[in-house]
Amino acid sequence: MALRFFNTLTSEKQEFKPLVPGRAGVYVCGITVYDLAHIGHARFLVAFDVLVRFLRWDGFQVTSVRNWTDVDDKIIQRAQERGEDPRALSERFIAACQDDMRAIGVLSADVEPKATEHIPEMRALIARLIEKGFAYAAKGDVYFAVRSFPEYGKLSKRKLDDLLSGARVEPGEQKRDPLDFALWKATKPGEPESVSWESPWGKGRPGWHVECSAMSQKYLGTTFDVHGGGKDLIFPHHENEIAQSEAASGQPLANFWLHNGFVTVDAEKMSKSLGNFRTLRDLLAHWDGEALRAFLLSTHYRHPINFTESAVADADRRVEYFYESLAKADAYLLQKKFSGQPKPLAEHEQAFREAMEDDLNTADALARLERLYGLLNARIDARGKPDEVAAMVHTARALSQVLGLSARAPEQAIKDRRALAASRKGIDSRWVEERIAARLAARKSKDFARADAIRAELAAKGVELRDGPQGTDWRVLL
């Protein structure tokens, strides 16, 4: 099996052939930072984080770029509402987003360029487009002339005439054609100096689409391997990026265009206008970030995924199962004083690879990985040979980490997760420990009726007890 991706450009799964064998350049459209990140952002972040992790594990040398859009109409508007400087506001939200991303296990990209730090590159690109006749300046604005680029619509499969119905010219815009889009927007009266730059066309700021064209070109070159983002970016954002970049260079922008599906809430698209969006900040107060990550990986990245409490609870159970299994295996090997060098299990690696090679089928990969965990537990239960157990746990851990899961020390993760669940349910752990001690006393005196009463008392609060050789442990039921 070869690595295949569904390419929006060709509408089919294609074998991934990088420009340079063994290397991959990946550009992902990042967040416009005017608010906290939501679960929809988490979806694309996790999807493309897994892409990068998998490519690296599969032997590719990856250069990943994920931008921050830190100058934009919405940022300026939000800043004005709050009486804050737009640049300060965007910096604040970048920091907040980074915290949230860490919590769901999203790695930093190799380059995380900010639009405001690439104004010269954007000006140069715009100048080139004007020079080549693809763009025109009008009263301080610069627009891309869509009809001058014959391939416009090739990504979104739209015809220019079909687009006309939705296109419109805002008051004050100087478009020659309603389909044209802004490359440069003249600074309006009252807009802060911090978001205004000099240019041959007067003071202004870049349009949204041009930043990605300029930054991808700078860090990945004229043509690169993979461009990713949410489905909603296909039109107009990515279509416009293609138009700008390819008009300027005459070369393809990216060979593979990958787009993730939406997160829905109650089967409806989450959006600001519907008021049903869930910020990560909010969700992380109640859920383990890793559980949210596992939830997002439980459905193929191109399909819609519906956010429900029970779906996240299922994912949480799976995260728990992985950590429990790893903890049990580690303890077993410690007890057996195993100190050899574990060998990865090729057949399980291969099973995992096959699922992932098929357009990053994380749902299938997770299922196959879970089989390995099952075998691992069975082997430990059967008091199997330490080197066999070691090979299994080593492989399970490594493959989990390709998905960005099970990276924490198991015992600590279990404690942290329990603490989060306890605080969520308002359970006082000292009270639980006290009840466990009382139950232990009852059990010692063979007063099982009392012991069971205490168990029931805890169960009523959502606390589950586990008696083991080392004493009684507890968990919080979701």
Partner RNA sequence: GGCACCGUCGCCAAGUUGGUAAGGCAAGGGACUGCAAAUCCCUCAUACCCCGGUUCGAAUCCGGGCGGUGCCUCCA
- Alpha-carbon distance of 360 to 342, in angstroms, equals 27
Rounded to a whole number of angstroms, the CA Rg of the chain reads: 26
**Burial of residue 363, with CB atoms counted within 10 A of its CB: 0-12 exposed, 13-18 middle, 19 or more buried:** middle
Cα–Cα dist 69/29, whole Å? 9
The label of the residue with tokens 């770029």 reads 65
Residue 278 interacts with RNA (CB under 7 A): yes or no:
no
234 touches RNA (CB under 7 A): yes
Closest CB to RNA among residues 61, 348: 348
Instruction: Select the residue interacting with RNA from 187, 452, 461, 462 (CB under 7 A).
Output: 452
Should residue 17 be labelled a site residue for RNA when binding is judged by CB under 7 A? Answer: no
Count Cβ neighbours within 10 Å for each residue of 229-255 and write b for 16 or more, e otherwise: bbebbbbbbbbbbbbbbbbbbeeebbb
Does residue 388 interact with RNA by CB under 7 A?
Answer: no
Is 402 an interacting residue with respect to RNA (CB under 7 A)?
A: no
Size of the site for RNA (CB under 7 A): 85
Query: Could you say whether residue 165 binds RNA (CB under 7 A)?
Result: yes
Q: Which of helix, strand or coil describes residue 467? A: strand
373 binds RNA per the rule CB under 7 A: yes
- Here's the x/- map for RNA, 432-451, by CB under 7 A: it reads as -----------x----x--x
Copy the structure tokens of residue 136: 């025109």
Preceding omega of 236 cis (within 30 degrees of 0) = yes
Within 206-225, the residues that bind RNA by CB under 7 A are 208
Q: Would you say 158 or 424 has its CB closer to RNA?
A: 158
* Burial class of residue 33 in the structure, from the number of CB atoms within 10 Å of its CB (0-12 exposed, 13-18 middle, 19+ buried): buried
Tokens 């400087």 belong to 85
Q: How far are the Cα atoms of 325, 359, 391 from residue 341, in angstroms, in the given order? A: 20, 33, 9
Tokens found for residue 161: 């005439």
- Check residue 279 for interaction with RNA (CB under 7 A): no
Among 23, 56, 154, 269, binds RNA (CB under 7 A): 269
Provide the mask over 73-102, with x wherever binding to RNA is found by CB under 7 A and - wherever it is not: -x----------------------------
**Whole-number Å distance between alpha carbons of 353 and 420:** 33
**Which residue's CB is nearer to RNA, number 56 or number 443?**
443
CB of 235 to RNA, least distance (A): 4
Using rule CB under 7 A, residue 423 touches RNA: no
Asked whether position 351 contacts RNA by CB under 7 A, the answer is: no
Binding to RNA, residues 18-37 (CB under 7 A): 29, 31-32
Per DSSP, 107 falls in state P
**Judged by CB under 7 A, does residue 343 bind RNA?**
no
- What is the C-alpha to C-alpha distance for residues 230 and 198, in angstroms, rounded to an integer? 32
CB nearer RNA, residue 159 or residue 343: 159
Decide: is 44 part of the binding site for RNA (CB under 7 A). yes
- Which residue among 147, 317, 383, 415 contacts RNA (CB under 7 A)? 317
Q: According to CB under 7 A, which residues from 140 to 159 bind RNA?
A: 156-159
C-alpha dihedral, 222 to 227 to 233 to 236, nearest 10° = 30
With binding defined as CB under 7 A, does residue 300 bind RNA?
A: yes
Q: Figure out which of the listed residues 58, 370, 388, 416 binds RNA, where binding follows CB under 7 A.
A: 370
Residue 321 in contact with RNA, rule: CB under 7 A: yes
Shortest distance (Å) from residue 148 CB to RNA: 18
Contact in structure between 307 and 278 (CB atoms under 8 Å): yes
**What 3-state DSSP class applies to 198?**
coil
The Cα-based distances of 381 to 216, 243, 329, 338, 399 in angstroms read: 52, 60, 10, 17, 22
Q: What are phi and psi of 53, to 5 degrees?
A: -60, -45
Does the protein bind RNA through residue 422 (CB under 7 A)? Answer: no
DSSP single-letter state for residue 408: S
Contact between 138 and RNA by CB under 7 A: the answer reads no
**Identified binder of RNA from the candidate list 130, 145, 146, 263, rule CB under 7 A:** 263
CA atoms within 13 A on the CB side of 255: 18
Q: In angstroms, what is the minimal distance from the CB of 307 to RNA?
A: 9
Name the minimum Å distance from CB 162 to RNA: 4
Stretch near RNA under the rule CB under 7 A, chosen from 82-90, 103-111, 354-362, 422-430: 354-362
Residue number, 96 or 167, with CB nearest to RNA? 167
List all residues 6 or more positions away from 301 whose beta carbon is below 8 Å from its beta carbon: 43, 47, 50, 260, 261, 360, 362
Q: Given the complex with RNA, which of 23 and 177 has the nearer CB atom? A: 177
Q: Which two tokens stand for residue 321?
A: 């199962």
> Which position among 232, 349, 388, 416 is part of the footprint of RNA (CB under 7 A)?
232
Of the residues 364, 387, 388, 416, which one makes contact with RNA according to CB under 7 A:
364
Contact between 68 and 114 (Cβ < 8 Å):
yes
Q: Does 377 bind RNA (CB under 7 A)?
A: yes
As measured in angstroms, the least distance from the Cβ of 414 to RNA is 11
CA distance 407 to 297: 16
Q: How far is the CB of 341 from RNA (least distance, A)?
A: 25
Cβ proximity to RNA, 250 vs 275, nearer residue: 275
180 forms part of the interface with RNA (CB under 7 A): no
